[in-house]
Amino acid sequence: MSNAIKVENLIKTYPSFALKGVSFEVPKGYITGFIGPNGAGKTTTIKSIISFLKPDGGTIELLGEKVKEGGAALEKVGVVMDTPYLVKDWTITDVEKAVMPFYSAWDGDRFKSLLDRFGIAKSLKVRELSRGMTVKLSVAISLSHGAELLILDEPTSGLDPVAREEICELLQEFVSEENHSVLFSTHITKDLESIADYIVFILHGEILYAGPKEDLMEAYGLLKGGLSDLPLLSHVHLIGLKKNSVGFEALVKKEEAVDLPKGILVEPVSLDELIIYFHRGGNKS
C-alpha cells in the first residue's frame, strides 16, 4: 500500500518538550485520525509535516516526495489549521484572489459551488464567519485547488454537532475519490470512531500506536472489578488504572489479560478511554 505521508524519526526539541523520533505512515485512500492528550505533540508534528516548523531531525515524505530543506510542495495538499491564517478584513472574494495564484489547478466554479453548498456568500468578510463557516471555507479552498491530501488540525473543535457532522461527511466524500487521503487531528474522538480507518496515537512526543483503528480497538480492553480483586491481578500489566471506593477499572492489552479471577470482566474500550488511561498510567497500590 502506498503512503500519502511517511514520517521517519522526526525530532523537534523545545525547552520543555520534544518529539522523540516520531515515525508513522498515513496510507493513501483513507482517513487517518491523529489523537493524543493536550500537549502530546500533534500540532508540532503537523506543523513539521507542512514545513511551518523546521524539525531538528528526521525525514518526511508527502505524496511520495521527500520534503526538502526550504519547505514542502503543498500544491496537492490542503491544510486546515486550528488557527486560520486568513486576514479578518478580507471578503471571501479577496480570499479567493489571494490564494488563487498559488495553485495552477484552481477551480473557481468548484469553489463557488462549495460556498453555495455551505451557505457562505462571497461578499462576507472573514471576521463575519462563524468558527464552523471558517473551517468550511478552509476545506472549500483545499477542495478547489485539486488537493489529494487534506491535513487538518482540530477542524471540529468548537463546532456544534451539526457542523461537526457536515465536516465529517465532507471528509468522507473527499476520500471516496481515488487516492485522496486525510490526516485529521482531534480531541473529539467520537468523530474518529465513525469515520477514521487508521489511528496514530501520540503521547509525550512518542508514537504509541499507528495502524488500523479496528486493530487498536481490538487489542485493548477495560478490566472491571472490585478493589479486593486488584491483588489477584499482579500478573497483568495495568496500563492505566482508576479506583473508586468500591471498585476499579484498568486498561489492559487483551492478550495479557489471562488467568483472570472469577467475576472480572474485560469490556470494549473507546478511543477516549484509551487516551485517558494511557495518560493516567497504572499504579496498583
The reply on whether position 14 binds ligand ATP by CB under 6 A is yes
CA–CA dist 194, 170 (Å, integer): 13
Minimum separation from the CB atom of position 161 to ligand ATP (A): 20
Instruction: Quote the least distance from Cβ 185 to ligand ATP, whole Å.
Output: 7
Should residue 42 be labelled a site residue for ligand ATP when binding is judged by CB under 6 A? Answer: yes
Does 40 participate in binding ligand ATP (rule CB under 6 A)? yes
Does residue 39 bind ligand ATP (CB under 6 A)? yes
199 forms part of the interface with ligand ATP (CB under 6 A): no
User: Any contact of residue 180 with ligand ATP (CB under 6 A)?
Assistant: no
Question: How many degrees, rounded to 5, is the angle at CA 197 between CA 172 and CA 242?
Answer: 120
Q: In the numeric block, which cell numbers belong to residue 140? A: 472549500
CB atoms within 10 A of CB 235: 10
How far is the C-alpha of 154 from the C-alpha of 139, rounded, in Å? 13
Nearest CA among 149, 177, 180, 154 for reference residue 167? 154
Q: Which of residues 61 and 206 has its CB atom nearest to ligand ATP in the complex?
A: 206
Nearer to ligand ATP among residue 83 and residue 104 (C-beta):
83
CB 151 within 8 A of CB 50: yes
Strand 240-243 relative to strand 247-253, pairing: antiparallel
Single residue of 38, 104, 244, 283 touching ligand ATP by CB under 6 A: 38
- Cell numbers standing for residue 155: 477542524
48 belongs to the binding site for ligand ATP (CB under 6 A)? no
Stretch that binds ligand ATP, among 38-46, 209-217, 257-265, 270-278 (CB under 6 A): 38-46
Q: Which residues bind ligand ATP (CB under 6 A)?
A: 14, 17, 36, 38-44
